[in-house]
Structure 1
Amino acid sequence: MAGKDGDVVHHDFYTAERWNNWINQVKESDFKFDESDEPQGKEGAIFVNMEDDIVLACLKIIAKCEKGLISPESALEYVAQVRDIALAEIDPISEDVDMMVESLQTSLMGGFAACEAYLSGDYDNSADIADLVKVALEAEFSDDIEIALGTVAEIGALVISGKELTEKIMEEVPYGLVAEWLDGIDSISAAMVGSDSYKDDEADDGK
């Protein structure tokens, strides 16, 4: 696959087939919320793994860019391709599953926005994450969703650059769009402190 500027990458970072495999697993899981309305057990873990899979694909793109193997412009194109796959509308499966998929996609919106902000350099590296969270929440409260998402994207870019989104900050965020988007940022943070194999150059076998 080649970017518009001639960069060549020898494997897809993420494919529609891979995403559809996850959706098929979700269909087979017969997932349901329990009485506490919390996702439970192995079935609930599928959604976590789906999100991790997407996040790692995006981090691989960023790693290739940082190594100079692809340009920021091509990296942005690749992230957009992954985003289009993961955020495409899913045919209804069941009420509980549909709710979880919608939540997952909302969370991923924050992650994609973060990657785009990082790759485009559209953030202030000296900004304070706690302050930005307040700005995002104020924007959400005022129904200025574009500002809210843009601010979450800045937070995510800072996390990718090495700053910490602490548990204390996350715990103080009331449930809403910003909270769900920040969950996507938290997934990026967790992936970065886990295995760093996404930085390797080996082709992904898609498993």
Structure 2
Amino acid sequence: MSNPPTEFYSAERWQNWIGRIQDEEIDPEDEDSARLLLNLQDDTAIAVAKIVAAYDDGEIDQETALEEIQDVRDIVLSEVDLADEEKLILVDGVQTSLVCVFFAAEEYIADGPAEDGTVDDYVGAAADAESEEDLDAALGYAAQAGTLIIDGEELDMTMAEELEYGLVTEWINGLDSLQSAMSDPEVVEEDE
């Protein structure tokens, strides 16, 4: 096991994104604003995908991979200092979407992909658990779906459109970013 060539994600990188959100007029209905928020989310998902890939390729061991995921989680899920309440809510939405990405990656690194169902099965189970207000179970099922996405299964976003809006739809949004990141882990340029 050699040391990873670079750090996978940094607090500075996250702060650069938050700085951009702070400096720009953000309107979720506006395509550029929506893209900025999606890029923030995708950028984090790409970092997670790179950690998983480094683990899968034997470049880092399980313990290091889990530590790296934890480091990114600590950066991304820390409290954000934004004066604008609306921007705070939008960033909070991105953070919520990414919670499932972190859980899925940890689950995958610790135990491999889920074995007892498909992505759709787990997403359905997550939605059912959420409707019964069992959010821990819902997150667990969504993370299981994520392990399968990491393993190469497809997430059908049309299924997500049929779900009632809530935490599961937020988490699926994050898994969609993870799916994109796993298939094309190119860095999102911060200065687009």
Normalising by the residue count of structure 1, what TM-score does the alignment of the two structures yield? 0.84
**1:134 aligned residue:** 124
Q: Secondary structure at the match of 1:182?
A: helix
Query: 1:123 & 1:29 partners in 2: Cα distance?
Result: 39
8 Å contact 1:152–1:181 — kept in the other structure? yes
One-letter amino acid of the counterpart of residue 19, structure 1? W
Q: Secondary structure at the match of 1:52?
A: helix
How much does 1:101 deviate? 0.4
8 Å contact 2:100–2:175 — kept in the other structure? yes
**2:99 aligned residue:** 109
The correspondence for 2:16, drawn from 5, 21, 34, is: 21
8 Å contact 1:14–1:57 — kept in the other structure? yes
8 Å contact 2:49–2:185 — kept in the other structure? no
How much does 1:114 deviate? 1.1
8 Å contact 1:7–1:71 — kept in the other structure? no
**1:201 aligned residue:** none
8 Å contact 1:122–1:154 — kept in the other structure? no
Query: 2:6 & 2:182 partners in 1: Cα distance?
Result: 22
Query: 2:74 & 2:115 partners in 1: Cα distance?
Result: 28
Query: Does 2:146 align with 1:151?
Result: no
For residues 53-132 of structure 1, the aligned pairs below 5 Å read: 53-121=43-111, 123-132=113-122
- Go from structure 1 to structure 2 and tell me whether the alpha carbon gap of 1:123 and 1:63 turns closer, same or farther (over 3 Å shift): closer
Work out the percentage of aligned pairs sharing the same amino acid: 37
Query: 1:63 & 1:127 partners in 2: Cα distance?
Result: 23
How much does 1:112 deviate? 0.9
Q: Secondary structure at the match of 1:43?
A: helix
Q: Secondary structure at the match of 2:9?
A: coil
One-letter amino acid of the counterpart of residue 92, structure 1? L
Normalising by the residue count of structure 2, what TM-score does the alignment of the two structures yield? 0.90
One-letter amino acid of the counterpart of residue 10, structure 1? P
The correspondence for 2:182, drawn from 166, 186, 192, is: 192
- Go from structure 1 to structure 2 and tell me whether the alpha carbon gap of 1:17 and 1:31 turns closer, same or farther (over 3 Å shift): same
> Alpha carbon RMSD of aligned pairs, Å?
2.1
Q: How many matched pairs?
A: 190
- Of structures 1 and 2, the larger Rg is shown by 1
How much does 1:123 deviate? 4.5
